[in-house]
Structure 1
Amino acid sequence: MATDAFARAKVNLTLHVTGRRADGYHLLDSLVVFAGVGDSVTAQDGAMSLTVDGPEAQALVGENLVTRAAALMGGARLHLEKRLPVASGIGGGSADAAATLRALERMGRPLPDPAAVLGLGADVPVCLLGRAVRMTGVGEGLEPVAVPPAWLVLANPRVAVSTPQVFRTLDGFGPPMPEVPAFADALALARWLHTTRNDMEPAAIRIAPVIADVKAALTALPGCLFARMSGSGATCFGLFGTEAEARAGAAALPAEWWTAAAPMEG
């Protein structure tokens, strides 16, 4: 019997880089949410194999986190429907790995221990949890938070950005994120976001200046309450209060970009 799992896009509404451990891993403080758009993983018993299709499948080359995740749970026959752009700052590979773990868990297999899950990547634990959190440390600290109903427009200019390169280009470290309050609505969230940062955004823009154009285009859309780069880029998000504004905004962006309007999910 085959089991399916949805791999939702992970969005860093904030991303404060607060330091670096002796082993070289950076310390993060981030408000992470999910968007109702993503990839799909199908798993069934059998020898390890992976097939991939979908609109973004062609960009997926080399080792895949899906097979690494499945290997932790004994392997399986896997199929990945790839809809999220690769190396885009919205956790596509990590979400796929987490979806693989969930699909195999539904087949009755025990999940790997937390250290093994974290070993797949800093974003895999939060993607496995699958809800809004304040993420700290190197990805192991996950404190659930409440976020208000809202919509996101995601936009990627078809530029892949290397996360290690962005970390190497960082200006330095900053203070932690302020405490996350209770948000009455999307506007309250937007106002709070103005007091926060994505410390990777300036470095990513130096590497791929088009990111600044994407952020500006989102900011200019009617109804956009706030815009910022997610993760290490190049995908940026715009925060909207209503579905109609988000869908109209996504439709107005350049056709050559990857874009999506989706509910923000906590």
Structure 2
Amino acid sequence: MPLAETGFAKINLALHVRRRRPDGYHDLETLFAFCADGDELTAGPADALTLAIVGPFGEGLSAGEDNLVLRAARALQAAAGIARGAAIRLDKRLPVASGIGGGSADAAAAMRLLVRLWAIDVPDATLHAIAADLGADVPACLVSKSLRGEGKGDALDLLDDAGLAGVPVLLVNPRVAVPTGPIFQRWDGIDRGALADGDPLAAALAGRNDLEPPARALQPVIAEVVAALAAMRGVRLARMSGSGATCFALFDTAADRDEAARIVQDRFPRWWSLATLLR
């Protein structure tokens, strides 16, 4: 029977951009949180590495060697010194280019999945190095727990998530793709200050997403999504995640979240939404 793993949806509770780096990345301070739901991957033994992509957001995605899932699998093969294959199936349930992990979460899930399928013992430091080589968010997605990220997002510290685990959350995407590169290029270069230490939820409430203004300028509907979420009953925080266009709202209760989900589906039927919990 194939093994299964979830590519958990990632949200940035806050995202402070501090400066541009010489290597083309930006120095960031961010609070990562992960949802209980996401894309689903399965894998079974096979002679070769193959990838099949299905699901509501799978159409048009390349299943070739450029896919991050296969790149992660190849890198894991090389690190473990094995030539075993796997038949991987990706059920793409999350919108593409949407600021909630996407390919990074899928690559990380593939690594966790194949470590189990191949029964290999790879040091955590090696897994982190592979993840960092694949993309700035992949190391955080590999852990998929509440984290503070600095540097380009891959210098990670586990957070005390007692105040975050189980918090009801609603994700909403207006079905517009926002490519990460152009959003970072549109950042105005102003350092608006550090992300607070201490309680992560308090730090998030006091923080901001510095990529939200340029994303709104590119896709004004993002402002409409955040405003709609902020107006819902029981909302503790409404903000855009990552470079967009997915936005999220944290709620006091699951009932408040579910009422908000019904309102969004009724008023904005073309928008994608997911009612879930923080892990």
**When the two structures are superposed, what TM-score results if normalisation uses the length of structure 2?**
0.88
Q: Which residue of 2 aligns with 1:185?
A: none
After TM superposition, list the pairs within 5 Å mapping 1:25-104 onto structure 2.
25-46=25-46, 47-61=48-62, 63-74=66-77, 75-104=85-114
Give the superposition deviation at 1:140: 2.2
Q: Which residue of 1 aligns with 2:80?
A: none
Q: Which residue of 2 aligns with 1:117?
A: 131
CA 117–192 in structure 1, closer or farther in 2 if over 3 Å, else same: closer
Secondary structure in structure 2 of the residue aligned to 1:248: helix
Aligned residues: 258
CA-to-partner distance for each residue in 1:206-255, whole Å, 9 max, x for gaps? 11111000001101111112200000000000110111111111121112
Give the superposition deviation at 1:138: 1.4
Letter of the structure 2 residue corresponding to residue 124 of structure 1? V
Output the CA distance in 2 between the equivalents of 1:29 and 1:64. Answer: 28
CA-to-partner distance for each residue in 1:54-93, whole Å, 9 max, x for gaps? 1211153473211111111235221001100000000011
Q: 1:194 aligns with which of 182, 198, 205?
A: 205
In the alignment, is the contact (CA less than 8 A) between 1:52 and 1:82 conserved in 2? yes
Letter of the structure 2 residue corresponding to residue 48 of structure 1? L
Output the CA distance in 1 between the equivalents of 2:141 and 2:190. Answer: 25
Secondary structure in structure 2 of the residue aligned to 1:206: helix
In the alignment, is the contact (CA less than 8 A) between 2:30 and 2:153 conserved in 1? no
Secondary structure in structure 2 of the residue aligned to 1:45: strand
Output the CA distance in 2 between the equivalents of 1:37 and 1:113. Answer: 23
Between stretches 56-65 and 165-174, larger displacement belongs to 56-65
Output the CA distance in 2 between the equivalents of 1:136 and 1:95. Answer: 18
RMSD: 1.6
Letter of the structure 1 residue corresponding to residue 182 of structure 2? Q
Q: Which residue of 1 aligns with 2:214?
A: 203
Letter of the structure 2 residue corresponding to residue 179 of structure 1? D
Output the CA distance in 2 between the equivalents of 1:113 and 1:95. Answer: 14
Q: Which residue of 2 aligns with 1:235?
A: 246
Output the CA distance in 1 between the equivalents of 2:190 and 2:139. Answer: 23
Identity within the alignment, %:
45
In the alignment, is the contact (CA less than 8 A) between 1:118 and 1:139 conserved in 2? no
Output the CA distance in 1 between the equivalents of 2:232 and 2:62. Answer: 34
In the alignment, is the contact (CA less than 8 A) between 2:72 and 2:130 conserved in 1? no
Gaps of 5+ in 2: 78-84
CA-to-partner distance for each residue in 1:3-47, whole Å, 9 max, x for gaps? 211111000000011112211111111011011120111122221
Gaps of 5+ in 1: 183-188
Secondary structure in structure 1 of the residue aligned to 2:245: coil
After TM superposition, list the pairs within 5 Å mapping 1:253-264 onto structure 2.
253=264, 254-264=268-278
Q: Which residue of 1 aligns with 2:159?
A: 145
Output the CA distance in 2 between the equivalents of 1:213 and 1:61. Answer: 31
Q: Which residue of 2 aligns with 1:226?
A: 237
Secondary structure in structure 2 of the residue aligned to 1:5: strand
Secondary structure in structure 2 of the residue aligned to 1:28: strand
Output the CA distance in 2 between the equivalents of 1:194 and 1:117. Answer: 29
Q: Which residue of 2 aligns with 1:180?
A: 198
CA-to-partner distance for each residue in 1:91-119, whole Å, 9 max, x for gaps? 01111000000001112134444222101
**When the two structures are superposed, what TM-score results if normalisation uses the length of structure 1?**
0.92
Output the CA distance in 1 between the equivalents of 2:190 and 2:74. Answer: 36
Output the CA distance in 2 between the equivalents of 1:193 and 1:124. Answer: 21
Q: 1:246 aligns with which of 227, 234, 257?
A: 257
Q: 2:148 aligns with which of 110, 131, 134?
A: 134
Secondary structure in structure 1 of the residue aligned to 2:206: coil
The reply to whether residue 159 of structure 1 matches residue 170 of structure 2 is no
Secondary structure in structure 2 of the residue aligned to 1:14: strand
Between stretches 163-172 and 143-152, larger displacement belongs to 143-152
Secondary structure in structure 2 of the residue aligned to 1:215: helix
Secondary structure in structure 1 of the residue aligned to 2:59: helix
Output the CA distance in 1 between the equivalents of 2:97 and 2:223. Answer: 17
In the alignment, is the contact (CA less than 8 A) between 2:136 and 2:154 conserved in 1? yes
